[in-house]
């Protein structure tokens, strides 16, 4: 019975994986066969990059500019890959520059492998250099696959009901938030609900951050996503901090306040037209003016949710398409680039390692005129991962899977019925590969089987097997050396850098608040800081959750306090945006914010920060809570 259960479990898992990967497999097979028929076997490498892009983008809401970017970038990378094969100097220069730029541009802690699709297009195309007269055909093949990619993504989006229009997502998310608030009114504190709120907030943050790009172009849709993230985050804040939750729940007006917020969220869900949002804004303002709650966590939560709803009433809920030509905020571009090029940043460290590994391996492959030398940079590219631990894991799993794949080909190849059998076996292997989880020892079995079977068309089976194993061993040695000695991204040091980044973002937020007191500041800037904070916070929290119990509790408490402090920063900014800060408060806040900016990074005692000039009121209480939380961090 136990064996039968395991067989059934394996069958169920296999069917689930096959069903999940079926669209990618079909897309790959159609591309592969069409490219062979239209362009020939010499151009089959173009299929891998577009398939990877499909695999990455098929569950995302793609916009017109995303489709145009995929086509244009594929063609540009094809030209750069061709140029990299012209001479050794261009090979070294382009491998370093292109891969470094792709990581800096596409990767973040939201999407640590955001470079993968485009990087694979460049790397795979340069691995098989072509003669100049073959370039037009290569470009035609790349353009053909890029257009197939766009068509496939559109078909998949319609079949899976994935849309870039936020309407459906907003309706579902607001309805769920209202239900959760009703549950809170009844005294429920479901950890699953807290996690759900956190994930909803993270989803909107990721969508807003994903629309930023390197040029920081103005985009109202981006601000819209950040505001929705903030709305869900408010409830997530309350539930994440057990002490705050208990304090809020003990307030007599708790149930009524939560029910009121749930009703306001439902009204926002229905207020799609400007007139409806204006009526709702007046009601929200009346609640802010006339609801009297005692100072405490409930008052902070209640008023901060109302403030966020009030800001959302000023936004359009319909998809907003920004004009094609927008003024580039070069100051923001420069600031963002300087931050990304800091050795403390994840993007810079990974970009440098990837650039060095691929420059060395591709240059060796270019100079070393031997059979299938391109397997060396190919293995190196797949082994090198954003974190040291993930690369180390692959340096164990990939050799195991490769060895099993070599054995499988050695046993199966003699039984294949000629060329049709070779192609059929290869296509089955590559299809099974897309069903496997990347990084496991199982996936390399099928990728190796595919590569070796195709290689046997030009060399002997045993020779292909030994070359595959040899190039893998050399790639493991190279990646191990670079990962160990060149800005290694081990998780523990990265955790410490993430904590410092959380403090730095608070200091930057105080600086922007101070600027906003004297002149208008683009509200999107606050959203970008908020998204960056929670992107880094999420990675830090994930690492802390894996620590031993004593350390886990210590760091979890510190992270929750940092989260609360950033919440209080957001509430300060919200009060400024809705015009709730008086001139007297603004004057006092300018001095307070300058003092806090200097003391939060690096974190020092804030006991001497004077709040006496700040009138007692909403703003005073928020900043007083901020100082109390900072004091807890200093003392711990």
- Residues 391-419 pLDDT 10s: 999 999 999 999 999 999 999 988 888 88
pLDDT, residue 333, reads 67
Model-wide pTM > 0.85: no
How far are the Cα atoms of 142, 158, 162, 163, 376 from residue 61, in angstroms, in the given order?
A: 23, 10, 6, 5, 36
Q: Is 289 exposed, middle or buried (0-12, 13-18, 19+ CB in 10 A)?
A: exposed
Half-sphere exposure of 9 (CA within 13 A, CB side): 6
Please state, in angstroms and rounded to a whole number, the distance separating the CA atoms of residues 603 and 98: 38
Residue-wise pLDDT for 190-241, tens only, equals: 667 777 777 777 777 777 666 555 555 545 566 677 777 777 877 776 776 6
pLDDT at residue 97, rounded to an integer: 96
- Which range (37-51, 307-321, 394-408, 507-521) has the least confidence? 307-321
Q: Is the pLDDT of residue 319 over 60?
A: no
Q: Which residues pair with 600 in a beta bridge?
A: 603
**pLDDT given at position 1:** 44
Helix (H, G, I), strand (E, B) or coil at 322: coil
Alpha-carbon span 463 to 460, nearest angstrom: 5
Per-residue pLDDT at 444: 93
For residue 35, pLDDT beyond 80: yes
pLDDT band at 521 (very low <50, low <70, confident <90, very high): confident
Q: Sorting pLDDT into bands at 50, 70 and 90, what band is 20?
A: confident
Determine the average pLDDT of the residues in 461-485. 93
CA of residue 445 relative to chain centroid, distance: 29
pLDDT in tens, 524-575: 677 778 778 888 888 888 899 888 988 888 998 899 889 888 888 888 888 8
Tokens matching residue 223: 């601000």
Q: Which of 89-93, 353-357, 485-489 has the lowest mean pLDDT?
A: 485-489
For residue 318, report the phi and psi dihedrals to the nearest 5 degrees.
-85, 155
Q: Which of 66-70, 352-356, 518-522: highest mean pLDDT?
A: 352-356
Between 316 and 528, the more confident residue is 528
Task: Report the pLDDT averaged over residues 16-36.
Answer: 89
The β-bridge partners of 603 are 600
Distance from CA of residue 61 to its chain's centroid? 14
Of 284 and 527, more confident = 284
Q: Are 271 and 313 in contact (CB under 8 A)?
A: yes
Distance, CA of 110 to CA of 209 (rounded, Å): 8
Residue with tokens 């491998």: 95
Predicted pLDDT at 352: 95
Q: To the nearest whole percent, how much of the chain has pLDDT over 90? A: 29
pLDDT more than 70, % of the chain = 89
C-alpha span between 530 and 499 (Å, rounded): 15
The mean pLDDT of 496-516, rounded to a whole number, is 90
What is the C-alpha to C-alpha distance for residues 269 and 181, in angstroms, rounded to an integer?
A: 14
For range 106-131, the mean pLDDT? 86
Sign of CA dihedral 179, 185, 190, 192: positive
In 60-190, alpha helices (H): 64-84, 88-106, 116-126, 135-159, 167-185
Residue 609 reports pLDDT greater than 60: yes
Q: How far out from the chain centre does Cα 369 lie?
A: 39
From the number of C-beta atoms within 10 Å of its C-beta (0-12, 13-18, 19+), residue 134 rates as middle
| CA–CA dist 609, 627 (Å, integer) | 8
Q: Can you read off the two tokens belonging to residue 91? A: 């090979």
Cα–Cα distance between 180 and 390 in angstroms, integer? 37
- The residue ranking higher by pLDDT, 434 or 160, is 434
DSSP helix/strand/coil, 603: strand
Q: Supply the pLDDT for residue 316.
A: 61
Is the model's pLDDT at 482 over the cut of 50?
yes
Task: Yes or no: say if 142 and 75 are a contact pair by the CB < 8 Å rule.
Answer: yes
- Over 90: is that where the pLDDT of 42 sits? no
Give tens-digit pLDDT for 151-181. 999 999 888 776 655 555 677 778 888 888 8
Task: For residue 608, name the pLDDT band (cuts at 50, 70, 90).
Answer: confident
What long-range pairs does 583-590 form, CB within 8 A, spacing at least 24?
584/615, 585/614, 585/615, 585/617, 585/619, 586/517, 587/613, 588/613, 588/614, 588/615, 589/513, 589/517, 589/614, 589/619, 589/623, 590/514, 590/517, 590/518
For residues 5-16, average pLDDT: 63
Q: What is the mean pLDDT of the chain?
A: 84
Burial code (b: 16+ CB inside 10 Å, e: under 16) for 556-576 equals: ebbbbbbbbbbbbbbbbbbbb
Instruction: Let me know: does 110 contact 128? Beta carbons within 8 Å.
Output: no
Q: What is the pLDDT of residue 88?
A: 93
């Amino acid at each position: 019975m136990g064996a039968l259960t395991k067989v059934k479990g394996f069958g169920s898992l296999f069917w689930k994986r096959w069903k999940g990967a079926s669209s990618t497999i079909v897309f790959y097979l159609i591309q592969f066969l069409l490219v062979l028929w239209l362009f020939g076997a010499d151009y089959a490498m173009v299929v891998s990059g577009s398939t990877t892009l499909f695999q990455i983008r098929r569950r995302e809401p793609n916009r017109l500019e995303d489709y145009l970017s995929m086509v244009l970038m594929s063609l540009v990378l094809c030209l750069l890959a061709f140029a990299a094969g012209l001479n050794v100097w261009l090979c070294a220069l382009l491998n370093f520059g292109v891969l470094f730029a792709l990581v800096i541009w596409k990767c973040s802690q939201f999407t640590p492998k955001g470079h993968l699709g485009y990087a694979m297009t460049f790397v795979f195309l340069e691995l098989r250099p072509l003669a100049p007269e073959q370039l037009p055909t290569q470009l035609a093949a790349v353009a053909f696959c890029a257009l197939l990619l766009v068509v496939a993504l559109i078909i998949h989006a319609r079949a899976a009901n994935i849309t870039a229009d936020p309407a459906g997502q907003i309706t579902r998310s607001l309805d769920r938030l209202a239900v959760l608030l009703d549950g809170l009114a009844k005294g429920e504190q479901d950890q699953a609900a807290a996690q759900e709120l956190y994930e909803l907030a993270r989803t909107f943050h990721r969508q807003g951050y994903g629309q930023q790009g390197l040029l920081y172009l103005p985009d109202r849709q981006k601000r819209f996503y950040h505001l929705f993230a903030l709305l869900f985050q408010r409830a997530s804040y309350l539930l994440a901090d057990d002490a705050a939750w208990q304090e809020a729940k003990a307030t007599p007006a708790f149930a009524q306040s939560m029910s009121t917020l749930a009703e306001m969220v439902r009204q926002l869900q229905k207020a799609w037209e400007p007139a409806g949002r204006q009526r709702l804004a007046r009601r929200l303002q009346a609640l802010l003016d006339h609801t009297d709650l005692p100072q405490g966590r409930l008052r902070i939560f209640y008023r901060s949710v109302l403030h966020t709803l009030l800001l959302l009433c000023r936004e359009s809920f319909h998809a907003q398409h920004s004009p094609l030509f927008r003024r580039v905020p070069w100051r923001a571009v420069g600031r963002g680039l300087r931050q990304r090029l800091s050795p403390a940043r994840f993007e810079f460290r990974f970009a440098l390692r990837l650039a060095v590994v691929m420059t060395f391996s591709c240059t060796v492959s270019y100079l070393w005129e031997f059979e299938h030398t391109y397997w060396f940079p190919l293995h190196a590219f797949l082994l090198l991962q954003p974190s040291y631990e993930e690369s180390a894991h692959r340096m164990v799993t990939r050799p195991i899977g490769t060895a099993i794949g070599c054995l499988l080909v050695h046993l199966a190849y003699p039984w294949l019925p000629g060329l049709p059998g070779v192609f059929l076996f290869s296509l089955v292997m590559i299809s099974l590969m897309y069903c496997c989880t990347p990084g496991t020892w199982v996936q390399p079995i099928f990728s190796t089987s595919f590569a070796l079977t195709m290689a046997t068309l030009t060399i002997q089976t045993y020779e292909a097997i030994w070359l595959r194993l040899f190039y893998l061993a050399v790639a493991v040695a190279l990646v191990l050396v670079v990962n160990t000695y060149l800005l290694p991204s081990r998780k523990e040091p990265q955790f410490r850098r993430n904590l410092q980044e959380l403090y730095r973002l608070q200091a930057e937020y105080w600086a922007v608040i101070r600027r906003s007191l004297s002149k208008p500041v683009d509200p999107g800037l606050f959203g970008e800081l908020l998204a960056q904070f929670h992107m880094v916070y999420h990675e830090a929290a994930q690492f802390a959750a894996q620590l031993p119990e004593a350390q886990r509790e210590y760091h979890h408490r510190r992270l929750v306090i940092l989260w609360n402090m950033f919440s209080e920063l957001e509430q300060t900014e919200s009060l400024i945006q809705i015009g709730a800060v008086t001139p007297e408060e603004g004057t006092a806040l300018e001095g307070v914010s300058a003092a806090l900016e200097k003391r939060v990074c690096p974190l020092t005692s804030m006991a001497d920060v004077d709040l006496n000039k700040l009138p007692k009121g909403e703003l005073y209480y928020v900043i007083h809570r901020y100082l109390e939380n900072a004091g807890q961090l200093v003392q711990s």
